[in-house]
Structure 1
Amino acid sequence: MKPNILFITVDQMRWDCLSILGHPVVETPNLDRLARSGVLFRSAYSATPSCIPARAAIFTGMSQRSHGRVGYKDCVPWTYQHTLPGELALAGYHTQCVGKMHVYPARNLCGFHNVVLHDGYLHHNRDKYKTTTNAHFDQCDDYLQWLRQTAGAGYDITDLGLDCNSSTVARPWHLPEHMHPTNWTVTQSIDFMRRRDPSKPFFLWTSFVRPHSPLDPPQAYFDMYKDLEMPDPPIGDWVDTVSAELGGNDPTAIFGQFPKRRLNRARAAYYALITHIDDQIGRLLNALQEYGVYNNTIILFTSDHGELIGDHHYFRKGLPYEGSAKIPFVINDPSGKLGFQPGSEVNEVIELRDIMPTLLTAAQVPIPQKVEGLDLLPLCRGESGSWREYIHGEHTYGSLSNHYVTDGKEKYLWFSQTGEEQLFNLTDDPQELTDLSGDPMKASRLDLWRQRIIAELDRREEGYVEEGRLVAGRPAVACLSHVVT
């Protein structure tokens, strides 16, 4: 029988927030267990580190150049011919998503048989005065309907007063813990176990909105972290600290030096949300055992992107630095049929588009020709062979619009609006404290990586390359023309 697939994603979780990686504060015992008996990837990246384009890579297995989403832009229809759940459904899988999809329109199934939806707070869905055909939020969010049926008609997900994009303001969840969106996501996932078609293998995507803000962990989890000593975030020697000191007042700012007390409280809440998720993942894994399917279920855990939460005085995502672009990534095969080396680690550089071909191969389902990702199973088996030299990432971000290339050991950054370059030796400097782009001894390495960016951007519609050179200042778009027409 084909294996079941449990695909677990979180939103905005940093790559280093696993206790198995030696994080000085956060505790993730269940994810650590999956890593110790599975395979841990140490150089996994989100090529376009924000929710929508990252999920396009997951759904389609394509690069951002092909799926067309190179920044964050809502309300662009999802019309892809091939999707991961769609291909599995065609192959006889019972497919279900619970939690965050962040597609458009919101109730687009994208190949799933059913979706129990909670995208969190999306501004375009909350606009009560829209005259377009967009559904209002309370018509497309299943968690909100459940919350009002359970807690009372007047409740909303905004009741705490926390902004959905603030990484610096936190407070504990105000309702009983079982009403938290994290618990709800697992409850609904377990309910799928009960009502699934037992004659078919299943593909279940359990998709958490947290630890994306609002930073609202249940009180018990907040108490675990609120009084702990927090290590100082890394601040590179290249950071404009004077400007950072002027930018610490707006709670939704992406750059600024915030009061240490507020920042530590936010980080405590962020870590608490991760441990809360970890406990709920343990609950979900236990349910798989209770339903007798654990030993025939492939489990893949990752995040759509990271969270800077103070690194170099930056917050949120969209930037090419490790806290934003690098992600946790674990694959586990309890059956042992795929020949994994349990407890092994993979250092080759991978990205989100590799998920689709990996899971389709594991399910013995043909991979569509348009898929550009690579099958990770040979790496999980410790097989030697050629692998990609690097990955290319990017994100439209106003004056901070950026591109990066990395092999997990070095990273080159190019900011398309200013032309600024940065070069980091990730092996010796994993926190990106020292920019080597101005070091004459690194000129050849800088040029090597620059040429790789040029190759990736050549003939792009934005006009970033002319006569073999990078051209700064070209207008950056969030979606390439072929996806918005």
Structure 2
Amino acid sequence: MLNRSRGDNSAKLQPNVLFVTVDQWPGSLLGCAGHPVIETPTIDHLASIGTRFSNAYSECPVCIPARRSIMTGTSPRRHGDRTFQPSLRMPADLPTLAYTFGQAGYQTQAIGKLHVYPQRDRIGFDDALLAEEGRGALGGTDDYEMFLADKGYAGQQFLHGMSNNEYSWRTWHLPEELHVTNWTTWAAARSMKRRDPTRPALWHVSYTPPHPPLIPLASYLERYRARDIDEAYVADWALDDKRLPYPLRLARDYWTKLPAAQLADMRRAFYALCTHIDHQLRVLIGTLREEQILDNTIILITSDHGDMLGNHGLYAKRLMYEGSAKVPMILVGTADDQQVGCGVIDDRLVGLRDIMPTLLQLCGIAVPESCEGRSMVSADQRATFYAEALSGAKAMRMIRDERFKLIWYPAGSIFQLFDILNDPHEMHDLSASPDHEHVLKRLQELLRDELYGEDLEAVNPDGFVGVDVPSSVVQPNRGLSGQRGLHYPAPPLQDPSVVVGGV
């Protein structure tokens, strides 16, 4: 029988779990990963007392598919979304992370962004406090917007005028304590204080920044104003728009290329959002410490995908380059941990679907047979990692081993090959190099084994034939990439299957 006294719960209960996700944060954008500018002292410290997985990727670097992989421990092939389907429900036959923890006796709480349909579907969590970036028009009440209304700012979340999918920026327009990052932290810390002390807990804290809109607090932008910002890098293969693969030309046409000075300021705003989150994590850790449960809490921090931030003249996600597909992955064990390690850099290939089996194993909970991921603290390591995004002529596919990455664009059947170990910025395309022909063919064979569905129509027994390159161009962006407006009174309901702000 569990001892119900508050003082010795850590010795009696299974570990608690603080599982933090951020949105659109590149894996390289950490001080502990060697970035020359970004300030992430909290995450850096957590990496020093745990393990940083230096080769962590999103199976599909798009918001909804990535979160399906996180919550089910499965690949897009299994959970059914590699394109971004906002009205597709979580598969009923896949036990979720939250459901599995709940069945094992855990109290489970989600705070922030879930990005599921219907929006108030708890996907196994006991409760969810949502900040869904203004998606109330899809149906469902947003807890953060209710909070703003309670504070006297009903419907004013987006009066800063910045779009959820563009790279203009300005500082936050409301009092600092009303910023969504502060609200997410406050709501999570309150949940920790309101926990049932007789049961272990899983807190999924999901921050919406640094995903646009880029609206940092003025105090955080100020700390970056006086310093030089790392410049965007552009490879020779990215200089000629006409020779780019079709999906890259679409992206170039959709997002305006920023002049150097504006690009530097945009990065300052983006970095400011990241440092703000990093500092708010300290509040969560402090709350756990003061509640006397920090030593018995596992911490995992990751992102659903990254952002190109102007590198190679590209922005946002969806792409298979390191800036978009690679994510942070920091894991910290309990004080008496014997599995995670301390100050370890683990270079195995891991993905978002590995989170669920990892956390379950660390908590002594059986992993559902439906999970395709591999525990990151086991000896079971993969030799290659496959990722995919979008379909048809917009499709992009990737496979990498411990050294090389192959990207395939079915439209026109174009390949790119990079030596990631020696060329992490992907400056040199080796696909036409005679010295790397054997690498190209080996990875092509491995990639072909991963293909399914419509992709099989783009190959034949002789090789990769691809699909036709469309002559169509991007339509005029009349909606400013999904710009939000005044949210009081609430906007009318809209068709949830309509994709807003996409290329």
Return the TM-score normalized by structure 1.
0.89
Q: Any idea what the Cα deviations from partners look like across 1:159-202, whole Å, max 9, x if unmatched?
A: 10000001x21111011211100000010001101211111100
How far the C-alpha of 1:293 sits from its partner, in A, is 0.7
- Quote how far apart the aligned CAs of 1:234 are: 1.4
Partner of 1:360: 360
Select 2:131's aligned residue among 97, 103, 118: 118
Shifted more, 428-437 versus 234-243: the winner is 234-243
Change (3 A) 1:463 1:18: same
Matched residue, 2:451: 457
1:86 aligns with 2:99: yes
- Are the counterparts in 2 of residues 39 and 330 from structure 1 also a CA contact under 8 Å? yes
Specify which of 449, 460, 470 is matched with residue 466 of structure 1.
Answer: 460
The answer to whether 1:392 aligns with 2:404 is no
The SS at the match of 2:238 is: coil
Alignment correspondent of 1:426: 420
SS at match of 2:300: strand
Unaligned runs of 5+ in 2: 1-12, 244-249, 471-496, 498-503
Pair 1:201 & 2:213 matched? no
Residue 344 of structure 1 deviates from its aligned partner by 0.8
Instruction: Read off the aligned partner of 2:295 and give its amino acid letter.
Output: N
Instruction: Give the structure 2 partner of residue 185 of structure 1.
Output: 184
Partner residue, 1:149: 150
Question: Structure 2: how far apart are the matches of 1:461 and 1:434?
Answer: 27
Superposition deviation, residue 229 in structure 1: 1.3
Q: Say which SS state the counterpart of residue 21 (structure 2) adopts.
A: strand
Contact between 1:235 and 1:311, CA under 8 Å: does it hold in 2?
A: yes
Indicate if the aligned counterparts of 1:98 and 1:206 stay in contact, CA closer than 8 A. Answer: yes
1:22 aligns with 2:16: no
* Residue in 2 that maps onto 1:131: none
Shift of 1:256: 4.8
Distance 1:421 1:252 in 2: 19
Matching residue of 2:56: 44
Contact 1:97 1:115 in 2 (8 A): yes
| Percent sequence identity over aligned pairs | 35
Instruction: Say if 1:445 and 1:256 are closer, same or farther in 2 by CA, change over 3 A.
Output: farther
**What residue number does 2:410 align with?**
416
What amino acid does structure 2 have at the position aligned with 1:301? I
Aligned twin of 1:403: 397
User: What's the secondary structure of 2:353's corresponding residue?
Assistant: helix
Spell out the pairing of 1:81-480 with structure 2 (5 A cutoff): 81=93, 82-122=95-135, 125-126=136-137, 134-135=138-139, 139-153=140-154, 155-166=155-166, 168-241=167-240, 254-378=254-378, 385=379, 387-396=381-390, 399-458=393-452, 463-467=457-461, 469-473=463-467
Give the superposition deviation at 1:336: 2.6
Q: What is the match of residue 55 of structure 1?
A: 67
CA shift for structure 1 position 458: 4.9
Closer/same/farther in 2, CA of residues 436 and 461 from structure 1, 3 Å limit: closer
Counterpart CA distance in 2 for 1:413 and 1:146 is 44
- State which drifts further: 267-276 or 458-467: 458-467
Structure 1 alignment gaps of length 5 or more: 127-133, 245-249, 379-384, 480-485
- SS of residue paired to 1:52: helix
CA distance in 2, matches of 1:104, 1:290: 36
- Name the CA distance, whole Å, in 1 between partners of 2:315 and 2:203: 31
Query: What is aligned with 1:5?
Result: 17
1: distance between equivalents of 2:443 and 2:37?
A: 35
Shift in alpha-carbon separation, 1:209–1:191, aligned structure 2, 3 A: same
Contact 1:163–1:252 (Cα < 8 Å) also in 2: no
Q: Which amino acid aligns with 2:42?
A: N
The range that moved more, 388-397 or 424-433, is: 388-397
What letter is aligned with 1:142?
Answer: D
Answer whether contact 1:243 1:256 (CA < 8 A) is retained: no
Q: Matched residue of 1:207: which SS?
A: strand
How far did 1:470 drift? Answer: 2.5
Task: Flag the 1:472–1:461 CA change in 2: closer, same or farther, 3 A.
Answer: closer
- Measured against aligned partners, the alpha-carbon deviations of 1:356-398 in whole angstroms (never above 9, x if no partner) come to 10111111111111111001113xxxxxx55211111010166
Shift of the 305–351 alpha-carbon distance from structure 1 to 2, 3 Å rule, reads same
CA gap of 1:386–1:147, structure 2 versus 1, over 3 A, is: closer
- Contact kept in structure 2, 1:37 and 1:343, CA below 8 Å: yes
- Mapped partners of 2:467, 2:145: distance in 1: 43
Range 213-222 or range 168-177, more displaced: 168-177
RMSD of equivalent CA atoms: 2.3
Question: 2:417 aligns to what SS in structure 1?
Answer: strand
In the TM superposition, residue 277 of structure 1 has moved relative to its aligned partner by: 0.2
Whether the aligned pair in 2 keeps the contact of 1:121 and 1:164 (CA below 8 Å) is: no
